[in-house]
């Protein structure tokens, strides 16, 4: 298997980030594997990482502890990313994320990455630009799901985005 540096360079989230800046992230990135049904994170929990999905599918939504039952807002697959909460106070997850299939991901550790973003403004700009795009796509996915829920029974259709969300 390729090393972290090579895997980061191949991930679509890193596209457009200059190599010298991207290389600043490899020491703060770990490889993670999640089995089907395993939670990547829970709503309200501490948000320490940004996940770059390399293989598998992750469901994102209100999956645990909601009186109305689980609501899947979107699915994130290969090439997508999730977990923008690590970058914004109060650094808590706003949604749940669960592996639908076996998931292989890179996890960028939030605190050291935020520190590097402050020391290297171009890196900070690039990462925040990519996160902003992710947020916009996530809001669009949520809007589509709300429209579907309004017109159909909740949970009958799920929008699949291979692009980064949440």
Q: Which two tokens stand for residue 90?
A: 């109060």
β partners of residue 154: none
| Predicted pLDDT at 163 | 47
How far from 103 is each of 10, 57, 116, 143, CA to CA, in Å?
A: 17, 6, 27, 26
Superfamily of structural domain 4-160 = Jelly Rolls (2.60.120.10)
- Inter-axis angle of helices 110-119 and 121-151, nearest 10: 130
Residue whose token pair is 């948000």:
47
DSSP 38-70: -EEE-TTSB--EEEEEEES-EEEEE-SS-TT--
Close Cβ partners of 133 (under 8 Å, ≥ 6 residues apart) = 164
Per the omega criterion (within 30 degrees of 0), is the bond before 56 cis? Answer: no
Per-residue confidence of the chain (166 residues) as pLDDT tens digits? 579 999 999 999 999 888 888 889 999 999 999 999 999 999 999 999 999 999 999 999 888 776 777 888 889 999 999 988 999 999 999 999 999 999 999 999 999 999 999 999 999 999 999 999 988 887 887 777 777 766 655 455 554 444 444 4
Q: What ranges do the domains of the chain cover?
A: 4-160
Closest CA to 80 of 97, 56, 100: 56
Cα–Cα distance for residue pair 43/41, rounded to 1 Å = 7
Q: What is the pTM of this model?
A: 0.84
């Amino acid at each position: 298997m390729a090393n972290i540096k090579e895997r980061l360079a191949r991930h679509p989230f890193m596209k457009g980030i200059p190599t010298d800046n991207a290389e600043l992230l490899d020491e703060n990135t770990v490889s993670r594997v999640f089995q089907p049904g395993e939670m990547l994170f829970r709503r309200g929990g501490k948000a320490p990482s940004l996940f770059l999905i390399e293989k598998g599918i992750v469901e994102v939504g209100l999956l645990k502890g909601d009186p109305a039952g689980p609501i899947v807002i979107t699915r994130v697959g290969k090439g997508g990313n999730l977990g923008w909460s690590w970058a914004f106070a109060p650094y808590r997850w706003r949604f749940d994320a669960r592996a639908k299939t076996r998931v292989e991901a890179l996890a960028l550790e939030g605190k050291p990455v935020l520190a590097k973003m402050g020391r290297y403004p171009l890196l900070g700009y690039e990462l925040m630009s990519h996160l902003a795009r992710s947020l916009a796509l996530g809001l669009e996915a949520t809007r589509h799901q709300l429209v579907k829920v309004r017109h159909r029974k909740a949970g009958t259709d799920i929008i699949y985005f291979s692009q980064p969300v949440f």
